Amino acid sequence: MTKPPTRIQQRNRAAILSAGLDVFSQYGFRGATLDQIAEAAGLSKPNLLYYFASKEAIHAALLERLLETWLDPLKALDGAGDPIAEIMGYAQRKLALSRDYPRESRLWANEILQGAPRIEDILRTDLKALVDKKAQIIKAWADDGRIADVDPHHLIFSIWALTQHYADFDVQVRAVLGDKAPYDGASVFLDALYEKLLQP
Amino acid sequence: MTKPPTRIQQRNRAAILSAGLDVFSQYGFRGATLDQIAEAAGLSKPNLLYYFASKEAIHAALLERLLETWLDPLKALDGAGDPIAEIMGYAQRKLALSRDYPRESRLWANEILQGAPRIEDILRTDLKALVDKKAQIIKAWADDGRIADVDPHHLIFSIWALTQHYADFDVQVRAVLGDKAPYDGASVFLDALYEKLLQP
DNA sequence: CGTTGTTTTGACCAGTTGGTCAAATGCAAG
DNA sequence: CTTGCATTTGACCAACTGGTCAAAACAACG
């Protein structure tokens, strides 16, 4: 039987994961170094490796944690709800995720950019299955004339693209916007966009 | 006066830039190695460095070339044209760029993800100025009631996000779509989206 | 052909990388 | 306060990193 983690273990594992998230999300797996992560976590490198077996292990732990939270908002899209409100709600939830968890968004982006070597299987199976299921719901809404007839897959892609852009391209968005805060305007824009797009 | 490049120089410099684009666009600056680039270019590492002074120099040459072509489509947005056609045309041009130059799109994405250390100045000056100028045109159209009243900056962001998504997240898009080709559906979807969004 | 400039290469280097290990330190329960 | 386990560390390693250099191979032109 596995022993319960001590307080020190909890604290240090959490510090490592947070530091790893910082570094991996900015530099990608290859570009990140254990020394960077160790420094960010306030630990020595051998001490890092006391808590995680390898660089891979830290990265894997982060990806696993990410997968859970990342797909949840889509899972919550409810076929029994009001179509337009459901889709707009999903977009807003995803936007909030970008605002509140930008590092996670960038970790995902980096992983996909590098060809998703570690999660391609999951994309092809779990993610595809989930998206296909929700796409069917959306298609049914369109067939019933409750929303406009748009390609459900590309509709979902559009929500991902539009919301993650604000996290992944944060520095560009802020450079262009100057002082203005991005997320309020983005939220308003998204609402208007999907309202008009989906009106039957 | 500088001598004209020999045929060998042209060929090898081109091979190096193409190889560098492959590697940098996938792994980012830090994650890319000269050995990788040399191998992809079919040259030895010292031979690489005969043509480019350093890793930085290859990357800088790529970024410079990218900046030109990357901002062109937006520059072509014409205040004298038909508003909705102009904006839809820009979106389509940008989508074609994603389709035809996905490596360039990913190079850009990687650079921004890593905090844009090498181009932040340009974002703050050139890019911001260009976007502000075009945003004014769009705002004028909205003020004249020729298009719906949407935030011009977020409208431009939406075009960037929606089009670049297909290049940057290519592997995810294809994993979810299965066999279906992404770009035809994307093109139709974009047209419908901006048509409906912008209708006054 | 020989000479001159261009291109390519093998050997090398110092710094960094992910990772190991034995020994030292800290700590909590009896 | 001691015993046993959890934690931390310094020293170390082999592989890889970006980069250098002198010498070799090649190309071109008279």
pLDDT at residue A166 is higher than 60: yes
pLDDT at B179: 78
Query: What does the alpha-carbon distance between residue B130 and residue B151 come to, in Å, rounded to a whole number?
Result: 16
Residue A110 CA distance to nucleotide D16 C1' (Å) = 23
Of B192, B133, B176, B27, the C-alpha closest to A29 is B27
Task: Label residue A186 by pLDDT band (50, 70, 90).
Answer: very high
Instruction: Check CB contact under 8 Å for A196 and B192.
Output: no
Angular region, A115: left φ>0, alpha ψ -120 to 50, beta rest: left
pLDDT at A179: 78
A114-136: pLDDT as tens digits? 999 999 999 999 999 999 999 99
pLDDT at B13: 98
Find the CB nearest A175 among B29, B127, B160: B127
Averaged over A76-99, what is the pLDDT?
97
pLDDT at B51: 98
Query: What's the one-letter identity of residue B141?
Result: W
- Which CATH architecture describes the domain A1-53? Orthogonal Bundle (1.10)
Task: Label residue A185 by pLDDT band (50, 70, 90).
Answer: very high
Contact residues on chain A for B193, CB-CB shorter than 8 A: 150, 158, 193, 197
pLDDT at residue A181 is higher than 50: yes
Instruction: Decide: helix, strand or coil at residue A192.
Output: helix
pLDDT at residue A2 is higher than 80: no
Query: What's the one-letter identity of residue B16?
Result: I
Which of A150, A157, A165, A174 is most worth mutating to test chain B (most B CB atoms within 10 A of its CB)?
A: A157
**Does any strand C atom come closer than 7 Å to the Cβ of B9?**
yes
Averaged over A70-88, what is the pLDDT?
96
**Model ipTM?**
0.95
Of A116, A112, A151, A119, the C-alpha closest to A132 is A151
pLDDT at B150: 98
Query: What does the alpha-carbon distance between residue A80 and residue B100 come to, in Å, rounded to a whole number?
Result: 41
A41-64: pLDDT as tens digits? 999 999 999 999 999 999 999 999
pLDDT at residue A3 is higher than 80: no
Q: Which residues of chain B have pLDDT under 70?
A: 1-3
**In the CATH hierarchy, which top-level class contains the domain A63-198?**
mainly alpha
**Does any strand C atom come closer than 7 Å to the Cβ of A60?**
no
Q: How far is CA A174 from CA A147, A165, A167, B124, B147, in A?
A: 34, 12, 11, 9, 26
pLDDT at residue A1 is higher than 50: no
A100-115: pLDDT as tens digits? 999 999 999 999 999 9
CA neighbours closer than 13 Å in the CB half-sphere of residue B108: 27
Is residue B133 a contact partner of residue B79, using CB atoms and an 8 Å limit? no
Whose CA is nearest the C1' atom of nucleotide C26? A8
Domain-by-domain residue ranges, chain B? 1-53, 63-198
